Structure 1
């Protein structure tokens, strides 16, 4: 009698509660059109396990055969969140590239859900995708500007690799700084150190720092295009277009500006992107690199003071 009552309670509380949470999470993640639903299976003595079934399926093929990799990931994420949010525990969430294999619609919904979760618990995300970083920033910024929405302040930490040592916390990444500050950092830090390595004939240290500095410079040029040349009207990995108080700045752009930026992007892409091992690598010409960095610093200052 006790076992029977326990099974009945499990059926009404665990079964119904989990299925409701799963469908809610699936909807929040943008998967409301996926033809899937949880199905419970009694494990005896009040224990219930769940599986996912295709709704209206006539064949015998499983989910992994029918659903795409992205849809399967959404279903798995919904199942995970339905399980953990029902435990009433506020333990931190740790995700490793949660938007892998997802299209942009799913990516945006997943990011919105993770940001919402951060209201009640710590959410830690590991990723190498700039699109994920940009979307988290876009969602939190949108909420900050929307009355009645919570204010979420994400913290970004960049990890670097130095020789064979990985996981080094970067104190200041070129991706995290504004172009003006990043350029000044290259001049005051990287170029100064490069000159010392050159004077002391420290070839290995010079080459390693030179490649890193050129890669950072390429990133800075990208951010210069996004935030200065285009005034943050359009942004990579972002659907929204910000025109209010910004669009008039784009009118300042001349063909000369485009040629200048295009030249820097082209010449320094080799340091940011992997190259064939068959290509011979040439040592960084420090005089040329310093001149390019100073030229970009001068252009940023001039463009900022230029009348619209």
Structure 2
């Protein structure tokens, strides 16, 4: 409450509402302020406007004395209310009211939290029940596996190791985790990774896998990625033979960078066909990268994995691809034609191994296929044909210094195609003779037929 005075009269009033709040009444302070305001307006009003001067009597001294007494009395009352005991009660009451207010505001959150606690308790009880059930299941499953599955698996695993020529005392025990069954291996009470090399671990892992699918009589296809990496040629041959036999009962897909494994598998498939009369069907695909992209699949094998007929077809395509350079860019043509003759020489060398000698002896294989001797049919003129064609390819290929008497230009495309045709024709002739030789060889062991009549 107060008056802000200036020269010339009352300027502003304020605080009357605060005084009324304190004393529960303004004791005519508001009316006095209204009278003072009216007197101010009387003096600032233009002279042409007439009005009556507010002449009500104002006793400021009496009002001031009354207000002082009332405020003093109010002060004494307030001093009594802030005694330590009363203050403590007020603080407690205030705290209680604040807690009630907070509780009211947070009522919904508290209810939701309580409901979540109840739900979490139910979930925890359910998880414990599931855990106990799984524990009982694992214990029972382990007992069943130990009695029914493990003996057969151990027997099959030992047979696989014996086939792979692995002489290790491998201990096997069943393991059940989260309803998944498996077997743990140990050698001399130690984990295989602590004793075996990377290649030996791979052989044992593959043997265990084959033993498992044999135990459970599963004929689903299997996919293997580089099964012979880190292995020597002995294990590579054994694995190729085992997978070829397995291919009689299921589809097997092998991803590998090792071309010798592909050749080994094809050879083992041929051996199975010779001994059983029918071998597993097989096909070869090549997956290549093209610039930044990868995964391009081609149905034909890489060059070193092709048969003679496939190589001849590839050389035909390469020759047709460079025919246009013969007339327009002879330098580029000579480079490409020389490369074709390099590959043509390789094809003749492969023909000797694959067709003429029936793969009886193959580079990279440590066995000799004596069962194929009945197919051999070599004529005296074969050496002359091969020598003549090998000499011609040597004249035009890269890798030999050419005589200055020879022209720098390679033969025309038509001449190259004729040389490729000679390769194809000679291969067909050898294969045709091979069938006749096989029949003639078999007729030697047929018993004579006695004709009566």
Structure 2: stretches of 5+ with no match in the other structure: 1-134, 400-407, 434-453
Shift of 1:295: 3.9
Secondary structure in 1 aligned to 2:410? helix
Paired residues of 2:308 and 2:427 also in contact (CA < 8 A)? no
Q: What residue number does 2:410 align with?
A: 287
Q: What residue number does 1:142 align with?
A: 271
TM-aligned CA distance change 1:244 to 1:44, over 3 Å: closer
TM-aligned CA distance change 1:211 to 1:49, over 3 Å: farther
Secondary structure in 2 aligned to 1:132? helix
Paired residues of 2:348 and 2:386 also in contact (CA < 8 A)? no
Paired residues of 2:150 and 2:174 also in contact (CA < 8 A)? no
Q: What residue number does 2:374 align with?
A: 244
Secondary structure in 2 aligned to 1:152? coil
Q: What residue number does 1:105 align with?
A: 234
Paired residues of 2:339 and 2:398 also in contact (CA < 8 A)? no
Paired residues of 2:341 and 2:393 also in contact (CA < 8 A)? no
Cα deviations across residues 249-300 of structure 1 (Å, max 9, x unaligned)? 1755548945853784798687xxxxxxxxxxxxxx8735855664464467
Q: What residue number does 1:131 align with?
A: 260
Q: What residue number does 2:350 align with?
A: 223
Aligned positions of 1:250-269 closer than 5 A: 252=381, 254=383, 257-258=386-387, 261=390, 264=393
**Structure 1: distance between partners of 2:228 and 2:250:** 20
Q: What residue number does 2:8 align with?
A: none
The structure with the largest helix share of the pair is 2
Say if 2:179 is the partner of 1:50.
Answer: no
TM-aligned CA distance change 1:40 to 1:250, over 3 Å: farther
More relative contact order in 1 or in 2 (CA 8 Å, sep 6+)? 1
Say if 2:361 is the partner of 1:234.
Answer: yes
Q: What residue number does 1:151 align with?
A: 279
Q: TM-score, normalised by structure 2?
A: 0.49
Secondary structure in 1 aligned to 2:373? coil
Structure 1: stretches of 5+ with no match in the other structure: 271-284
Say if 2:159 is the partner of 1:9.
Answer: no
**Structure 1: distance between partners of 2:292 and 2:345:** 23
TM-aligned CA distance change 1:45 to 1:185, over 3 Å: closer
Say if 2:169 is the partner of 1:169.
Answer: no
1:77 pairs with 189, 203, 206, which one? 206
Greater Rg by CA: 2
Paired residues of 2:308 and 2:350 also in contact (CA < 8 A)? yes
**Structure 2: distance between partners of 1:76 and 1:167:** 28
Secondary structure in 2 aligned to 1:125? strand
Shift of 1:115: 1.9
**Structure 2: distance between partners of 1:87 and 1:65:** 29
The alignment covers a number of residue pairs equal to 283
**Structure 2: distance between partners of 1:302 and 1:108:** 31
TM-aligned CA distance change 1:215 to 1:132, over 3 Å: farther
**Structure 2: distance between partners of 1:181 and 1:194:** 19
Q: What residue number does 1:38 align with?
A: 171
Q: What residue number does 2:164 align with?
A: 29
Q: What residue number does 1:18 align with?
A: 153
TM-aligned CA distance change 1:28 to 1:16, over 3 Å: same
**Structure 1: distance between partners of 2:180 and 2:359:** 54
Cα deviations across residues 189-212 of structure 1 (Å, max 9, x unaligned)? 2212112256676x99x8998798
**Structure 2: distance between partners of 1:103 and 1:139:** 17
